[in-house]
Amino acid sequence: MSDNQQNQLWGGRFSESTDAFVQAFTASVGFDRRMYRQDIQGSQAHATMLAEAGVLTGEERDAIIQGLDEIRAEIEAGEFEWSVALEDVHMNIEARLTDKIGITGKKLHTGRSRNDQVATDIRLWLRDEIDLIDGEMERLMTGLLDQAEREAATIMPGFTHLQTAQPVTFGHHLLAWFEMLKRDRERLADCRKRVNRMPLGAAALAGTTYPIIRERTRELLGFDEVCENSLDAVSDRDFAIEFCALAALCVTHLSRISEELVLWTSAQFNFVDLPDRFCTGSSIMPQKKNPDVPELVRGKTGRLNGHLIALLTLMKSQPLAYNKDNQEDKEPLFDAVDTLAGCLRAFADMIPAIEPNREVMREAARRGFATATDLADYLVRKGVAFRDAHEIVGKAVALGIEKKKDLSDMSLAELRQFSDQIDDDVFEVLTLEGSVSARDHIGGTAPDQVRAAVKRGRDALR
């Protein structure tokens, strides 16, 4: 690319060429060329609209559209020569179009600016990526529902403070993960609504004097609305920040899941097994099986938090309208999309393959006096005030610790020394099955409620 060719695109006002380092420093083509499909899509819609508005002839429109189709094929075949001297994806494609079809290629930019062009390309690109991410979310959520249904009656300890609290079912625990992702998917859909607004037609910052038909371009590109203020249209990056925020929160949820999987696959818990294909070994300890996928996803949380802060900081002091600062919006956004999509894909593949160690889970639930609350509730139903029942059970637990016995293993005589309200029927509530089955309401851990929640979850995914 000669200086003269470079300056043909915007250099009429300049008396010297751009410094070579500055040229490379300010170029974005190294990363924004991934939006080539959306750039071509937007340009073809713009050309179609210009022809309908009488700004281009039908022959000029057809030449532009055909030329852009050929350029897309060149890019996808790896035959396109990207030039740093041409700065970005937009100018690279426009220069190649002019090479191919002559002066008509120079007419494509009529009635638009790179400011509204790039804002449109980013939204088109992010909209496409959101749809792909939504598919991975749905796949992961479906896997969780399938696992939850299979394990609806598998008993495990529920924890608070990482201490044994009450018995729950593994299916119920999996549905807690599902609920996290359900909110994330709702946020993703809500974000898409604000992504799907069209800046094209705002031009540099004030609109254009050409008789453009923005509603027609909107229709051609499948946007729901047009951005109604030209200044805001070219400078708004709220949608990118919003995506990074939901991505950070979604991976935070995946990180919490990862932490539990890391704990549960340890020898100390041994609640679940992960297939070998999601793990690695140690270079010196042959017995090791490391849960690398959950660990890495847990680590990705910091990366996505960083991208969110980067974009918030990028925008916090920008005056209207467009500024070169906004070139820095793409790499954090691109990486946030790639990272979230990768984490979801890894989990969507891994979750259905988790194998619970059911007997280990059940035995763990028997330890730690998990049915102590059930005994307190039993006494309340016998007429004992809850605070008194709490104290009675606390004393029974202290005896159990001393004798190394769970409440369900104590004799009736041992239990009755703390309250004469305790009768033979107490052992019905001290069983693990009795405990989980007693919580038979929406949101409870009873197996029937888990199965009903799975059905509601499947209905919500349809």
Closest CA to 334 of 68, 21, 28, 85: 28
Q: How many CA atoms lie within 13 A of 458 on its CB side?
A: 11
- Dihedral angle of Cα 47, 82, 241, 193, to the nearest 10 degrees: 30
For residue 283, the surrounding DSSP H or E stretch is: none
* Rounded distance between C-alpha atoms, residue 424 and residue 411, angstroms: 10
Q: How many CA atoms lie within 13 A of 227 on its CB side?
A: 29
Q: What is the CA radius of gyration of the chain?
A: 31
78: buried, middle or exposed (CB in 10 Å: 19+, 13-18, 0-12)?
Answer: exposed
- Helices of type H across 225-323: 230-235, 238-264, 292-315
Q: Is 161 a catalytic residue?
A: yes
- Single-letter amino acid code for the residue at 367: R
Name the catalytic one among 2, 15, 161, 283: 161
Q: Under 8 Å CB-to-CB from 99, ≥6 apart: which residues? A: 105
* Rounded distance between C-alpha atoms, residue 300 and residue 317, angstroms: 28
* Rounded distance between C-alpha atoms, residue 324 and residue 281, angstroms: 47
Packing angle, helices 89-101 and 114-150, rounded to 10? 120
For β-strands 163-169 and 355-356, DSSP reports them as unpaired
Q: How many CA atoms lie within 13 A of 385 on its CB side?
A: 3
Q: Is 282 a catalytic residue?
A: yes
* Rounded distance between C-alpha atoms, residue 331 and residue 8, angstroms: 28
The catalytic site residues sit at 161, 282
